[in-house]
Structure 1
Amino acid sequence: MKILLSGGTVVSMDPAVGDLDRGDVLIEDGLIVAVAERIDAPDAEVINASDRIVMPGFVDNHRHAWQTALRGIGADWTFPEWAAAMHRTVKPHYTPEDVYAGTLLGRLEALHSGVTTMLDWYHVAQSHAHEDAAVAALRDTPGRSIFCLGAGWGTTDPIDDDIRRVRSDLAEDGLVSMALGLRGPEATSIDTVARELKLAAELGLRTSLHIEASGTIAELREHGLLRDTTTAVHANGTSDEELRMLADAGGSISISPDVELKMGFGSPMTGRALAAGLRPTLSIDDVPSVGGDMFSTMRTAFAVQRGLDGGLRARDLLDFATVDAAHSCGLDARTGSITPGKDADILLLRTDDLTVFPVTDPAGTIVSAGHPGLVDTVLVAGRVVKRDGVLVGVDLAALRTRLLESRNRIAAAAGIPLDGTWRPQPEAE
């Protein structure tokens, strides 16, 4: 099967391909086979990309999709309040059906807003049925997803059997693959970290690790546990020296700027990471607290760092949200840029929308003024999953009903109001 994206403004994110004011992209059997000003393909299905920016899909390498049913409830929360709410108050009342509904709608939301690849950082840790429900939801969404299985919040129990069980069911080269969510020395013993890293290497899994405190990266290095397959999430308290350690090891960093600023983590690490030799990547984190689209995430990271030192350019943010994030997931050979030979994970963004018209600088417009309403068409591995602004083959009315039922049941079971008045009480230190 061939598809020709015809006449769009191509922002390829591949220096060898470059950008085209007017260009065509030819897709065959799910792969990008050619990018040029004009391509003759009379046997291809033609998608008119005029008045559209053609760019690679976004890559979000850290999101907790199971929390989607409680969207917006934590807009005013600090991090300790979020932890008390999500992990100690509502999570015990989550059934596998709740996990499925939240993950499904969360992944569809991300796809709708142009996130073609998403790492779902799962830490519900209630039962095998809960894990299977999350995986099933990702499989039922036509996006490229990574199920990052981690232990429950604050638990020290071994998760080796869980990792092996789920890994045996997920092919490395499928649309849904797997990663291991490390607890790290802040949450468990260094011996446990070493064992989990050994297991990840044995199973061919990349790892992701939330970092809060200064000294964590140094401790990992001291014990020979820094890996080029590990993404450090947040790391706002990390020293410049530790960032250089992470860079020297070939690791990566995921920044969630809206959550970090609102919840009291500190300034996003964008500029400091670059200075240390790291390529920052961007992620949403959780939608009870912030919006779920990459446009607003890029804009926050851009504005904050420009305010600090004026050093970033708009295209840097596009790099962070596409090719750099794909690299952090070990998928840069398959996605992250419009490059012949890669899978066709591609967005068509409207340029005739009054919120962005006229588009003079495509990269500048995407970063400074982009929003999910511009996402007209989405392809994943060459399959059209959103067309003319509508997700293909998705019964959203039924799914909305399902998620509302889940939210209301969880809230009732947890005894919390849904009128915006609830403020969770953090545990006393």
Structure 2
Amino acid sequence: MSPHRTLVRNGHVLTMDPALGDLPTGDVLIEDGVIAAVAPSLPVTDAEVIDATGHLVLPGLIDTHRHTWQSLVRGICGDWTLADYYFGIRLGVSPAYTPGDVRLGNLFGAVDALNSGVTTILDFSHCNNTPDHSDAAVQGLREAGIRAAFCYGFFESSPEESRFGDHAARVADFHRIADTYFASEGLLTLGVSLSELFGLPWEHTVDELAAARERRALLVNHAGCVFGSVLCTGITELDALGLLGPDMVHVHCNAFTDAEWDAVARSGGKVSISVETELNMGFGRPVFERCRRHGIAPTLSVDVVSLNSGDLWHELRFGLACAREDVLGPVNAAGAMPDSVGIPAREALRWSTVNAADALGLGDRIGSLTPGKRADLLLVGGPAVEQHPVVDPYATLLFQTTAADVRTVLVDGRVVKRDGVLATTDLTTLTAEADSAAERILGRIRDAGRALPGTPPGAWAAVEPMAREFHEHAVQTAKKR
């Protein structure tokens, strides 16, 4: 059979591949989901043509940390701190989710991502309350047609509320998910979302790491997002035991010490920055400068649409502002004005393309419009005022673009959005289902007599004993080795 061919014709092509560069006028040929050729003009006559005239053509954006299931409670955390989020979402909302809610949340959240040009997400999936919830989470992503690292979360709100019985049953469920859905290559790849390292017995952390590495799964963990509890990151402990590695994405990292940054850098670990969450919930300053100082390529993540937008363009815009202020602030503090902004918009776009693909272990498959890679790409432009004129394409993308300006989206060569309209989803029906599901979830919480967020006074004081116990156990384990 002859291959299915698609020609994206006559666009301004930003390949994000240094060897290919940018083509002010160029074509991209796709064959059976693979980028076959990129050139100023390709004499192809036997292909479906997508006219990219007047559009920027670029790789799909990649989000390195998104709790996709939370799309059904969009914006609920608008005035919440991190403690409020933990007690309200993790201990309040999550137990009220049915498997059907998880499926719909992942479907709706993934469609939200695709609509804004995010073609790949790291799904930090920590609402796997039962095996049925775990299945539903995978099913929602598959229905959406997004590329994703499905990172199975072992999180349990408390031993009393466990619906698995014990941690070993959770690990067994992870292996079941791996066998059921990840025996062959597809749009979804396998990962593990580690439980908060200070909130469970040390042996369970080791079990989670071992299960992930047995399956060669990507690892992701929340780290360094709590100030005033110096034992909470787990990075020093993991480093002492040789358990860090290049297969780990460390999320937030705001409270890291220099020693912890050194450990992550030595291990080849990756970093995901959630600009809007961190600034709005009191995590501290996003860590662009710390990444630069330690030679770590930053990546970006939406984190929670229960707070902010699922549109990664916002993270890019605010992230670049923060990263530039890291460079320019000391100049201003010295009573001077800078000679340059320090970080170009072109470099920032790498955070959510090339850097992010490498962080997910997919750098050989996505992240640039390089022949041989999978055809995940965007056409950005169209009739919106802010898209005209395009004087600097990178400035247009970083400072002028919204989800509405993402006109066409392809994942693995398949069109999922065309001319501004989602091609694979009845959005009217889907949004109505999301509205109804949200009412039911919040109704269950009210019926249980729970007030949100429900954060007790001095909430973080409870963290320190757990962190201290974790640290002491890890130290003793390291000594035995």
Q: TM-score range by the shorter chain?
A: over 0.9
1:265 maps to which of 273, 279, 283: 283
Q: Does 1:295 align with 2:307?
A: no
Deviations 1:50-101 (A, max 9, x none): 1100000001111111111111121111111111111222222111111111
Tell me how far 1:190 sits from its aligned partner: 3.3
| Residue identity in the other structure for 1:161 | A
Tell me how far 1:183 sits from its aligned partner: 2.0
Q: Does 1:161 align with 2:172?
A: yes
Q: Does 1:427 align with 2:456?
A: yes
Which residue of structure 1 aligns with residue 117 of structure 2? 114
Tell me how far 1:244 sits from its aligned partner: 2.5
Q: Distance in 1 between matches of 2:210 and 2:75?
A: 38
1:139 maps to which of 126, 138, 142: 142
TM-score by length of 1: 0.95
Conservation of the 8 A alpha-carbon contact between 1:281 and 1:321: yes
Conservation of the 8 A alpha-carbon contact between 1:123 and 1:151: yes
Q: Distance in 1 between matches of 2:385 and 2:5?
A: 32
Q: Does 1:326 align with 2:325?
A: no
Conservation of the 8 A alpha-carbon contact between 1:167 and 1:178: yes
Structure of higher CA gyration radius: 2
Q: How does 1:74-223 map to 2 (within 5 A)?
A: 74-155=77-158, 157-158=167-168, 159-171=170-182, 173-212=185-224, 214=230, 216-223=234-241
Conservation of the 8 A alpha-carbon contact between 1:240 and 1:276: no
Deviations 1:169-204 (A, max 9, x none): 223521122101112532233332222222211111
Conservation of the 8 A alpha-carbon contact between 1:77 and 1:423: no
Which one has the bigger helix percentage? 2
Conservation of the 8 A alpha-carbon contact between 2:91 and 2:157: no
1:23 maps to which of 17, 26, 31: 26
Q: Distance in 1 between matches of 2:129 and 2:52?
A: 46
Tell me how far 1:154 sits from its aligned partner: 4.8
Q: Distance in 1 between matches of 2:241 and 2:145?
A: 40
Listed as ranges, the gaps of 5+ residues in structure 1 are 417-421
Q: Distance in 1 between matches of 2:47 and 2:314?
A: 35
Q: Distance in 2 between matches of 1:166 and 1:238?
A: 33
Listed as ranges, the gaps of 5+ residues in structure 2 are 160-166, 329-341, 462-481
Tell me how far 1:351 sits from its aligned partner: 5.4
Q: How does 1:374-393 map to 2 (within 5 A)?
A: 374-393=405-424
Which residue of structure 2 aligns with residue 14 of structure 1? 17
Deviating 4+ runs (over 4 angstroms): 153-156
Q: How does 1:299-310 map to 2 (within 5 A)?
A: 299-310=317-328
Tell me how far 1:352 sits from its aligned partner: 4.5
Q: Distance in 2 between matches of 1:125 and 1:132?
A: 9
Question: Which stretch shifts more, 209-218 or 264-273?
Answer: 209-218
Which residue of structure 2 aligns with residue 337 of structure 1? 368
Tell me how far 1:16 sits from its aligned partner: 0.8
Please provide the CA RMSD for this pair: 1.6
SS at match of 1:415: helix
Conservation of the 8 A alpha-carbon contact between 1:352 and 1:358: no
Which residue of structure 2 aligns with residue 419 of structure 1? none
2:69 maps to which of 63, 66, 69: 66
How many residue pairs were aligned?
Answer: 424
| Residue identity in the other structure for 1:264 | G
Q: Distance in 2 between matches of 1:184 and 1:411?
A: 26
Conservation of the 8 A alpha-carbon contact between 1:51 and 1:352: no
Alignment identity in percent? Answer: 40
Question: Which stretch shifts more, 6-15 or 236-245?
Answer: 236-245
Deviations 1:92-131 (A, max 9, x none): 2111111111111100000111010011111113111111
| Residue identity in the other structure for 2:431 | R
